[in-house]
Amino acid sequence: MQVAFRTMTKIRGALVTSIYKKMLTVRAETTNSSAAVSLMSTDVDRIVMTTFMCVNLGPDIVQIVVALCIMGTQIGPTAVAPVILCGICIGIAAKIGQMVPPRQRRWMSAIQKRVGITADIIGAMKGVKVAGLSVKVDKQIQELRNFELQRSVRFRKLQVTTQLLGELTERAGVYCLTNYVQELRLRS
């Protein structure tokens, strides 16, 4: 686990540093600073979490194989039930996974728009205050945030569904153990 967290920290540091250096070298007029800011926040976190899952994949597979062998010797054919349940959940999660990218893209574009406008307003804060536009600007940023939240609803629903499927697969061992205990009661 420590290796995974160390890897995540190194990747996050390298990505943020390289994006920041690139932003400093490219002229402000030629690039969209809001894209870089949103890349540094949301995309870096997504990349880091994917790396975390990839680092843990190898040990997880070994644990599954060892657990199935042990359960197979103790329980017998009942040990296959959690594998079937997990396979069904993986299939459903794969179908859900196909729906994620377009919804996530819409949400990320809304984030990028809000962050870009907010960064521009912060850059011109003195002018905004002198012109007495603070309330109007605050309302505009809040409307952008509400729009962003509306865009995120469909994506978040898919995330919740995927999390529920993950919880179901984690409980598969409990179902198998319960089945084993019932088998023992029937035998005696």
Please tell me the pTM assigned to this model: 0.60
pLDDT tens-digit map of 142-183: 999 999 999 999 999 999 998 898 888 878 777 777 877 887
119: which 2 tokens? 């960064």
| Packed helices 80-123 and 134-170: angle between N→C axes, nearest 10 degrees | 170
End-to-end CA distance of the chain: 42
Distances from the Cα of 70 to the Cα of 161, 171, 174, angstroms: 31, 18, 15
Range with the lowest mean pLDDT among 9-13, 22-26, 57-61, 147-151? 22-26
DSSP secondary structure of 138-188: HHHHHHHHHHHHHHHHHHHHHHHHHHHHHHHHHTHHHHHHHHHHHHHHHH-
Residue 43 has pLDDT above 60, yes or no: yes
